[in-house]
Amino acid sequence: MLNLRITAAAVGLCFSLSGGLAAAQPISGGPGAVAAERAEAPGAPAPAQKPVRPTAAETSGANTPTAPAQSHSAVVVELYTSQGCSSCPPADEVLSRLVGRKNVIPLALHVDYWDYIGWTDKMASPAFTARQKAYARAIGARTIYTPQLIIDGADRVAGARPMDVAELIHEHAAETTPVRLKLARKGGRVVIDAKSTQTFPKGLLVQIVRYVPEKTVSIRRGENAGRTITYHNIVTTWDTVGHWDGAAPMSMIAPADGDEPVVVILQEPGPGQILAAASLR
């Protein structure tokens, strides 16, 4: 049942789209196992999964002095999708409507486990499939859904459920974070500066994401055969370039060649909650 705690801001972020079904896949086994065990979710997709998130104080060191938290940085929305999945176009449209919204970083990660149907998604990567499976294992889930949206590394939405996505974005935008992140681009490099009012015993992953802003594809085979779909913010690489415990300010210079936009994400291992994110075009 839809959570009725929907604020005016969340409603303003909502989209007039119909929700598609989400297809469940086991997280173990190769393409043959996926083909044999595919199951359509009965009726509406699974509701948003909201694991309990520790507070900043709980994730920080016990002796760390307290200080005012920073306002939340951009909210990261990861969409796990595929050109070969008939349930995915409505979710692709949800993501496209987030593009250009202030303080939201929408990212499309195309997975490869739908390629067996007959259409190879040239945007897909086994690394993105592995990342989605790691998210599932982090909360003890045995299946992954296509499409699936993950908001700030913490909340999961199966299928195209714009109201749920809008509400979760609003909730995360209202949260505070101990981390302040700033980026600057210098030629083919990105300068990453971060400060924290708290430390993180397990550290944070410093990740750089690159993406293609838009691409239109004519799909000739598979479940979406005959459709021409425009995809947005298509992730090409997602790399961990360092670890940071927050004890001292961080200043890092990392390669960022080419014209693709740059996103830097500071995230708990697991993968877990995203503490800060920023982007440069």
CA angle 237, 278, 187 (to 5 degrees): 70
Position 34 confidence tier, pLDDT thresholds 50, 70, 90:
very low
Percent of the chain whose predicted confidence (pLDDT) is above 90 = 73
Strand-strand pairing, 70-71 and 176-177: antiparallel
pTM here is: 0.81
**Per-residue model confidence (pLDDT) at position 67:** 40
Does 170 have pLDDT greater than 50?
Answer: yes
Instruction: Please say whether the beta carbons of 73 and 231 come within 8 A.
Output: no
153 pLDDT above the threshold of 50? yes
pLDDT average, residue stretch 236-264: 96
Given a contact cutoff of 8 angstroms between Cβ atoms, the answer to whether 265 and 209 are in contact is yes
Sign of CA dihedral 123, 239, 147, 38: positive
Give the count of beta carbons closer than 10 Å to the beta carbon of residue 223: 19
Give the C-alpha distances (Å, rounded to integers) separating 173 from 8, 37, 73, 85, 170: 14, 38, 7, 30, 5
- HSE-CB for 86 with a 13 A CA cutoff: 10
User: In this prediction, what percent of the chain has a pLDDT beyond 70?
Assistant: 76
Higher pLDDT pick, 55 / 82:
82
Q: By C-alpha distance, which of 192, 206, 210 is closest to 259?
A: 210
- Other beta carbons within 10 Å of 54: 11
For 89-142, the pLDDT digits (tens) are 999 999 999 999 999 999 999 999 999 999 999 999 999 999 999 999 999 999
Contacts of 143 (CB under 8 A, 6+ apart): 24, 25, 26, 27, 136
Domains identified in the chain and CATH numbers: 8-280 (3.40.30.10)
pLDDT for position 230: 98
User: In the β-sheet with 39-40, what is the strand arrangement from edge to edge?
Assistant: 39-40, 23-26, 143-146
Strand 104-110 and strand 75-81: pairing? Answer: parallel
Q: Is 80 exceeded by the pLDDT of residue 1?
A: no
- Rg over CA atoms, the chain: 19
> What pLDDT is attached to residue 48?
53
For the stretch 211-248, pLDDT in tens is 999 999 999 999 999 999 999 999 999 999 999 999 99
Strand locations in the chain, DSSP E? 23-26, 39-40, 70-71, 75-81, 104-110, 143-146, 148-151, 155-158, 176-177, 179-186, 189-196, 204-218, 228-244, 250-255, 262-267, 274-280
> What is the pLDDT, as a whole number, of residue 29?
43
Which residues, 6 or more positions from 153, have their beta carbon under 8 angstroms from its beta carbon?
76, 78, 135, 267, 268, 270, 271, 272, 273, 274
